[in-house]
């Protein structure tokens, strides 16, 4: 039968939104329009990704710095340790602290395509080491990554769970999951986390997919399985963007409502700097826009 509607007296869930730093003037406009649209949903934080191998460091910094000065949103900066010395990573972290950023999403990052990951000789080897390093620098709030379908290069599922536990024991206070389409897999993962003694929130990462072909290709790289039903849902929508958006909203709404019916009350959205699907799905979750108490202007470059 249909999922029960959210009780009127049930508080709306806590949301966070992820953005990527813009590379061009047009993408810059798109990002800040997205931020303006989503800000009234009062996310508890918004995060900004760090490019492969740290390639977007300057842009990530500029974006979070602007969030600090021009909005009343709480920014979280992603930071990876791949391909850098500890000193380099520490300096970036101190730069964030000095810019007023108090929340870091601490990640290992990936080796360049076609190569296998090897720790930098003078660097933090894994995300757990990075978390430890950050704790020494300042009193950051730290989030880390979790993989309901197991990280693609983990030696085993148990090993991957141990690695998650080490990151949390090192001082991270929450994990955000890789996106997934199979909700049952996530719920089973939560149970495994609990059994392993993990008490920190494991916030589901929601990717509202409207470009099926692109998502299928990308998912293969992140170890996210793409169920047959998802392909079937998008079948025949290749030349119909409106229809694709509708299907995407239905798919993601169903996913978040199933999670909500199972007691999940925190969600992280991979917005891809496009607000509409996230906005619609947040609405389905019971989140309504609220003007900021002291509305801060969000300027356009
Ligand atoms: P880790 O936790 O270090 O784990 C990586 C692998 O090593 C796992 O297989 C783990 O089991 C294994 N491992 C851990 N410790 C050890 C050990 N001591 N010995 C042997 N093996 C070990 N990438 C970016 O480049 N920029 C981003 O902004 C970004 N944001 C992300 C946000 C989220 C929410 C998620 C889920 C991923 C993000 N990624 C990002 C991708 C991430 O960098 C990759 O998934 C990367 O391959 C793993 O990063 P991690 O922090 O999970 O690594």
Q: What is the pLDDT of residues 140-172, one digit of tens each?
A: 999 999 999 999 999 999 999 999 999 999 999
Residue 210 banded pLDDT, cuts 50, 70, 90: confident
Q: Which atom of ligand 1 lies nearest, measured to the CA of 20?
A: 28
Query: pLDDT digit string (tens) for 219-257?
Result: 988 889 999 999 999 999 999 999 999 999 999 999 999
Residue 297 banded pLDDT, cuts 50, 70, 90: low
Cβ of 174 less than 6 Å from ligand 1: no
Tell me which residue has its CA closest to atom 46 in ligand 1.
Answer: 109
Give the residues across from 206 on adjacent strands: 269
Tell me the two tokens of residue 15: 């949301």
- Say which of 18, 88, 91, 266 is annotated catalytic: 18
Cβ of 108 less than 6 Å from ligand 1: yes
Is residue 294 scored above 60 in pLDDT? no
160 CA → ligand 1 middle, Å? 10
DSSP code of 178? P
Cβ of 153 less than 6 Å from ligand 1: yes
21 CA → ligand 1 middle, Å? 20
pLDDT at 132: 98
- Helix, strand, coil percentages (3-state) for the chain, rounded to 5, are 45, 15, 45
Residue 68 banded pLDDT, cuts 50, 70, 90: very high
Mutate to test the pocket of ligand 1, among 79, 163, 164 (most ligand atoms within 8 A of CB): 163
| This prediction's pTM | 0.95
**Cα–Cα distance list, 245 to 82, 232, 279 (Å):** 35, 15, 12
pLDDT at 301: 46
C-alpha angle 147-151-152 in degrees, rounded to nearest 5: 145
- 112-116, 211-215, 263-267, range with greatest mean pLDDT: 263-267
Q: Which atom of ligand 1 lies nearest, measured to the CA of 117?
A: 47
Is residue 25 scored above 90 in pLDDT? yes
Cβ of 83 less than 6 Å from ligand 1: no
3-state secondary structure of 70: helix
95 CA → ligand 1 middle, Å? 22
Question: What is the enclosing helix (H) or strand (E) of 77?
Answer: strand 75-80
Cβ of 127 less than 6 Å from ligand 1: yes
What average pLDDT does range 35-42 have in this prediction? 96
The question of whether 87 is a catalytic residue gets the answer no
Tell me which residue has its CA closest to atom 47 in ligand 1.
Answer: 110
Q: Which atom of ligand 1 lies nearest, measured to the CA of 176?
A: 34
Per the prediction, the chain carries an average pLDDT of 93
Is residue 199 scored above 80 in pLDDT? yes
pLDDT at 52: 82
pLDDT at 277: 96
Is residue 102 scored above 60 in pLDDT? yes
Residue 64 banded pLDDT, cuts 50, 70, 90: very high
Give the residues across from 18 on adjacent strands: 47, 270
Q: Which atom of ligand 1 lies nearest, measured to the CA of 154?
A: 9
Percentage of the chain modeled with pLDDT above 70: 94
pLDDT at 295: 43
Which residues have a Cβ under 8 Å from the Cβ of 215 and sit 6 or more positions away?
A: 207, 209, 226
Tell me which residue has its CA closest to atom 18 in ligand 1.
Answer: 126
């Amino acid at each position: 039968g249909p999922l029960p509607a959210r009780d009127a007296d049930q508080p709306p869930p806590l949301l966070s939104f992820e953005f990527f730093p813009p590379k061009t003037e047009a993408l810059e406009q798109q990002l800040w329009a997205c931020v303006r649209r989503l800000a009234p949903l009062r996310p508890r934080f918004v995060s900004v990704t760090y490019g492969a191998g740290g390639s977007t460091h300057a842009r990530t910094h500029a974006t979070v710095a602007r969030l600090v000065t021009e909005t009343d949103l709480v920014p979280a900066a992603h930071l990876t340790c791949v391909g850098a010395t500890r000193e380099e990573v520490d300096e970036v972290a101190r730069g964030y602290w000095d810019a007023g950023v108090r929340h870091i999403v601490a990640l290992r990052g990936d080796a360049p395509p076609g190569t296998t990951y090897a720790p930098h000789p003078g660097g933090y080897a894994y995300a757990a080491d990075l978390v430890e390093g950050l704790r020494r620098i300042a009193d950051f709030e730290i989030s880390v990554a979790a993989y309901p379908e197991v990280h693609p290069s983990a030696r085993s599922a148990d090993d991957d769970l141990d690695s998650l536990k080490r990151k949390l024991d090192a001082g991270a206070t929450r994990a955000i999951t890789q996106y997934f389409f199979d909700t049952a897999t996530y719920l089973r993962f939560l149970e495994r986390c609990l059994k392993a003694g993990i008490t920190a929130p494991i916030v589901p990462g929601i990717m509202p997919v409207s470009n099926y072909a692109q998502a299928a290709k990308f998912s293969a790289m992140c170890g996210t399985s793409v169920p047959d039903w998802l392909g079937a849902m998008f079948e025949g929508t290749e030349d119909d963007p409106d229809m694709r958006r509708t299907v995407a909203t239905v798919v993601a709404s169903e996913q978040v409502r199933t999670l909500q019916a199972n007691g999940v009350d925190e969600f992280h959205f991979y917005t891809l700097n496009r607000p509409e699907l996230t906005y619609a799905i947040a609405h389905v979750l019971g989140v309504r826009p609220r003007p900021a108490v002291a509305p801060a202007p969000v300027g356009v470059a």
